[in-house]
Each structure stands twice: as structure tokens, then as C-alpha cells.
Amino acid sequence: MVRAVRWARRHHIPLVPRGAGTSLDGESVPPDGAVAIDLRAWNRVLEVHREGRWARVGPGLVNADLQAALRPHGLFFPPNPGSWLTSTIGGHVATNASGPRSFRYGSTRHWIRALDAVLGTGEIVHLGTRSEKRSMGPDLLQTFIGSEGTLGIVSEVTVRLAPRPPVRWGLALPLPARPRLGPLAVALAQLPDSGLSAVEYLDAYSARGLVLSRGAPWSADTGRLLVEVEAERPAEAEQRVRRLGRLVRRFGIASAGVVFPESDRLWDLRGEAGRVMDEVLGSRIRDDVAVPPGQLDALVTALQRIARREGVAVHCFAHLGEGNVHPNFVVDPASRRADRIRRAMYEAALRLGGTMSAEHGIGRVKRAYVERELGRPAARLLRAVKDACDPDGILNPGNLYPD
Ligand SMILES: Cc1cc2nc3c(=O)[nH]c(=O)nc-3n(C[C@H](O)[C@H](O)[C@H](O)COP(=O)(O)OP(=O)(O)OC[C@H]3O[C@@H](n4cnc5c(N)ncnc54)[C@H](O)[C@@H]3O)c2cc1C
């Protein structure tokens, strides 16, 4: 890898590190003349340390393969993006990926202890530590997470692990026609001893799509609240589900919904929501904005207003507990109208105290808006980090940074 980077630097050839290629904003698409570095062969579990709850892995290891290797140890790696059956740990690090379980466990950045990477200079850096604590200036490991292959190529990752709860139930609850999403998300987050590890939302359109195209076992007539309850024993899970049922009744959810005794099946279905939209709606804006959960209804109202003004349809699913909405605007994503929609959507998210990019990163699609969110001085700092790690700009050019 070091030789490849040095060669590329000498010949001014751009390099694009690439895992499974599932990122959604053009992060791993090589521009003309660039060489893609396919990391999928670096896919070994190098070491699992059960007591220390960490594992060393190659960056090309697929999330699902890591989970399978950890099962006999009673451990798991919490980030579970909808793409978990194919996407890689290196890709998760480079995009700071999240998943339904981020509601309880946080995003990838909370689950990386250390990594090795080759900078754009050809130098190797070892970032992070296996120690539980370290106080040593700004955290360079965290600077690397979410850097979308623009600072260095990650060659090894030490992931943190969590004990796998013995019981994990998924529930798909029917929502009323006009759910109060913000208050619901806040109430669920505040429910004591809930064991809730995921709180997701499908609008009626997405929920019906999963029924018709993927055989989801719920009725096709309402939106759905999807949750996961973790527990030590089935009796504890039952008690938690009963308490949850009492709470959601206040929000017009009267039925117990559909129970998934093995919740991964629910997350596989949920992970198909985007692909179903691909099949049904084709090319469109598929976005990723977030606001504080209490502002969710204001965000959804703003998105609907934008769609009405532009004369297009919008369908949403969301990581509800984290205030992260994926709006799907049915519009040619390369059109001027799409530009207007994106700008208005990001302005609405920022006005409500949120972000234009909750988990999918920036890539090529959103880089023009980075300075608007960060402000000029912070955008300049970001650029300075890039210049220090990759002075010739050979790593993933055209990605993440504003021109
Ligand atoms: C159906 C579907 C569902 C999804 N659901 C979610 C979700 O729930 N949550 C979420 O956060 N995302 C989701 N995504 C987006 C995507 O899966 C994640 O961003 C994932 O982490 C990308 O992993 P990858 O292996 O495909 O990386 P790639 O797409 O190959 O690369 C992504 C970025 O990482 C860089 N990169 C890859 N490997 C390395 C490395 N070793 N060193 C340095 N840089 C590297 C690339 O250059 C690129 O910038 C979804 C995508 C799809 C298609």
C-alpha cells in the first residue's frame, strides 16, 4: 500500500480507496484518470480479545462477517447500517456510518479504538490506543473518522465491542395517519429502563413498498414505528414491551403490531427501504438530514412545503430516535430543481439546529454546501488538515472539501 501511494504521488495519479462501494453521495466513485484501490481482499479478523472487548480487523472486512465471527464470543459490533450485509469496516470508518442501533450505541466513531493508515505522503500513522483513557491533545483518531478516504488509506482497524444481549426483539407498530414524530421520539428516549436499542420510522409509502416488494409481514395501510428491545431474559423483554405499549398508546398507537423474535430480520427489511425506492421511483434525491428529535415535525412540515412548492412528491423514512430523516424527492437529481430542493432542505435542517449530513457523508454531491454548515474558518481548518495529510491532493480528489 505504501509503495502504491508513493508511486501515485510521484506520477500525480489520484487514488480512491474503495470498500464495497455502497456509499450514497459518490464518495467511492473514482473520477477520470484515478485508480481505485479495492480493499475487499483485506478482509481478515486478525485477533479477537474477549476480555478487553476489542478486535483487530482488515479494512475490507464486511460488517456481517465481523458479526458472525464475534457471535461465538458473545460479543457484537454495534453499528449496523442498512448495508451491513455487504459494506466494510473501512467504509464505516471513512463515513462514520450509523445504523438503527446507533439510537442506543452511537455511530462508528464511538466504536473505533485505533487504526493504522497510509497518509497521502506515503507515511504510516498509528492512531488511537487500546488503553481505556488517553489525554493527549486533539484526537487525531477522531479526525480520521468520517474523512472519506481523503486523508489516508486505512490498513487496519481495532474496533470496540459490546456484549451481545441474550434477547433482542423487533416490533413493527402501526402509526396513526398524522403521527407526532418529535414528541414520540423524545418520549421514547426518556422512557426509563426501556432496553430500547433502535427507534425507526417508515412513512406509509415506504412501509407499503416493503410489503409489496419484500413481503414485509405487516398490513400495507399505515406508516410504521420500528423498535428493538434488548433484555437479559424473555420475561424482562415482555415487561419492557408492555411498558412501551402503555407509552405509545398516548401517541395513538393502539395495536401491539408485529413481533420479530429475531430482530436482525427486521433490520434486513428496513435496510431494503432505499432499494425499494430505487426500484419504484428510480433516480431521485435520496438525502440524509438530521435535527434535534423534538424538531422532527417541523422538519417534515418544511420538507413537504418544499415538495409542494416544487411540484414533486416526497417520501420519508427515518432513524427517528436520532432525528435523522431520509427524504426521497422524486426529481431528476441532476436538475436545477434538484439544486433548489437541496438548498432549501439543508437551510431548513440548519435553521432547526441540525445538519445536512447525518450519516451518509459529503462525497461529491454535498461538498458545495460544506462551508455553509461549518462556516468559513472551520472549513479552512478542515482544508488545513487535508493539506497536512495529503499535500499533493492525490487521495480521493473532488470529494468532501469545497473548491
Ligand atoms: C441499501 C443501503 C443502506 C444503507 N444504510 C446506511 C445506514 O443505515 N447508515 C449509514 O450510515 N449508511 C448507510 N448506507 C451508506 C453506506 O453503506 C455506508 O456509508 C458504508 O459505511 C459504506 O461502506 P463501503 O464499504 O461500501 O464503503 P465505500 O462506499 O466503498 O467507500 C465509502 C468511503 O469510504 C472510503 N473508504 C473505504 N474504505 C476505505 C479505507 N480502507 N481507507 C480509507 N477510506 C476508505 C472511500 O474512499 C469512500 O470515501 C447505506 C447504503 C445502502 C446502499
Q: How far is CA 22 from CA 10, 211, 226, in A?
A: 30, 24, 23
Is the minimum distance from the CB of 14 to ligand 1 under 6 angstroms? no
For the CA of 400, the nearest atom of ligand 1? 49
Residue 62 pairs in a beta bridge with 88
Is the minimum distance from the CB of 150 to ligand 1 under 6 angstroms? no
Q: What is the DSSP string of 262-326?
A: STHHHHHHHHTHHHHHHHHH-S-EE--EE--GGGHHHHHHHHHHHHHHHT--EEEEEEGGGTEEE
Mean of pLDDT values over 182-207: 97
Mutation test residue for ligand 1: of 22, 155, 157, the one with most atoms within 8 Å of CB? 22
Is the minimum distance from the CB of 359 to ligand 1 under 6 angstroms? yes
- Each domain of the chain, given as residue ranges in start order, spans 2-163, 167-273
Ligand 1 centroid – CA 28 distance (Å) = 8
pLDDT digits 0-9 by tens, 274-325: 999 999 998 999 999 999 999 999 999 999 999 999 999 999 999 999 999 9
Indicate which residue's Cα is closest to atom 50 of ligand 1: 83
Is the minimum distance from the CB of 79 to ligand 1 under 6 angstroms? no
- Coil, helix or strand at residue 64: helix
* 217 confidence band (pLDDT: 50, 70, 90): very high
pLDDT attached to residue 216: 95
pLDDT digits 0-9 by tens, 45-92: 999 999 999 999 999 999 999 999 999 999 999 999 999 999 999 999
Is the minimum distance from the CB of 80 to ligand 1 under 6 angstroms? no
* 254 confidence band (pLDDT: 50, 70, 90): confident
pLDDT at 403 over 80: no
pLDDT digits 0-9 by tens, 83-128: 999 999 999 999 999 999 999 999 999 999 999 999 999 999 999 9
Dist. CA 305–CA 50, nearest whole Å: 51
pLDDT digits 0-9 by tens, 21-39: 999 988 999 999 999 999 9
Indicate which residue's Cα is closest to atom 9 of ligand 1: 81
For the CA of 19, the nearest atom of ligand 1? 30
Indicate which residue's Cα is closest to atom 37 of ligand 1: 91
pLDDT digits 0-9 by tens, 319-362: 999 999 999 999 999 999 999 999 999 999 999 999 999 999 99
Contacts of 351 (CB under 8 A, 6+ apart): none
pLDDT at 256 over 80: no
Is the minimum distance from the CB of 22 to ligand 1 under 6 angstroms? yes
2-163 against 167-273: fold identical: no
Is the minimum distance from the CB of 20 to ligand 1 under 6 angstroms? yes
Contact at 8 Å (CB) between 2 and 63?
A: no
CATH of region 2-163:
3.30.465.10
Ligand 1 centroid – CA 238 distance (Å) = 35
Indicate which residue's Cα is closest to atom 52 of ligand 1: 83
Is the minimum distance from the CB of 357 to ligand 1 under 6 angstroms? no
Dist. CA 31–CA 374, nearest whole Å: 26
Residue length, the chain? 403
Dist. CA 387–CA 120, nearest whole Å: 9
Is the minimum distance from the CB of 17 to ligand 1 under 6 angstroms? yes
Q: What is the pTM of this model?
A: 0.95
Is the minimum distance from the CB of 88 to ligand 1 under 6 angstroms? yes
Ligand 1 centroid – CA 22 distance (Å) = 5
pLDDT attached to residue 251: 96
Is the minimum distance from the CB of 397 to ligand 1 under 6 angstroms? no
Q: What is the mean pLDDT of the chain?
A: 96
pLDDT digits 0-9 by tens, 152-171: 999 999 999 999 999 999 99
CATH of region 167-273:
3.30.70.2190
pLDDT at 255 over 90: no
Is the minimum distance from the CB of 90 to ligand 1 under 6 angstroms? yes
